[in-house]
Amino acid sequence: MTEVHRYQVVTMLSAAGATIGYDPHGPEVVMASAFDEATQLFLDAAERCVASERREKELQQRLTAADERADMATSLIQRIVANFDTKIEFHEDVEPNDLEHDQVLTEMREFLSPKDTEWRMNPCKNGHRDVGAAGGVAHCYTCDEKITAANTQEAFEQWNATHPAT
């Protein structure tokens, strides 16, 4: 529906013993069903915009997390290079800082083995991978499948419990 049809209200005049006349210049009106349909179209469009903004925010958060991991990896590599450069540059005179070396290796192991705290959602029942969780709701952006819970973590856990990983 691209437009709402408007109608002209005519006023019927009646006088005792006279014929019925009308005033064709009454106000414009819209049928209630057409108004309701236009309102629903507007609400649907607004809901799609909100969902799109929510998805954009979640994607931005993922991008920020990935950037932080890349920065951390770069920093670890720079520290390793600096540590080994010290050993190479000074040969036997100066040994690398063993404590720093061990700490860098520990951090690298942690970096290369992400913790389970990272949330990875399984695809929806239709196989869509465009899924997310926020505000106590886990949902598919493509088919609008949803699970609502008391908080986001519970919704996430219920989602993965009822949606097998592929």
Which residues, other chains included, contact 17 with Cβ-Cβ below 8 Å and sequence gap of 6+?
A: none
> In this structure, what token pair is assigned to residue 47?
């809901």
Q: Where are the domains of the chain?
A: 119-166
Average pLDDT, the chain: 77
- Measured in degrees and rounded to the nearest 5, phi and psi for residue 23 equal -110, 105
Q: What is the pLDDT of residues 8-51, one digit of tens each?
A: 666 555 566 555 555 666 667 778 888 888 889 899 999 988 88
Q: What is the pLDDT of residues 128-159, one digit of tens each?
A: 988 888 888 999 988 989 999 998 888 888 99
Return the sign of the alpha-carbon dihedral for residues 62, 68, 72, 74: positive
Q: What is the pLDDT of residues 52-83, one digit of tens each?
A: 888 888 888 888 888 888 888 878 777 776 66
Structural contact between residues 139 and 145, judged by C-beta atoms closer than 8 angstroms: yes
Return the sign of the alpha-carbon dihedral for residues 79, 84, 89, 95: positive
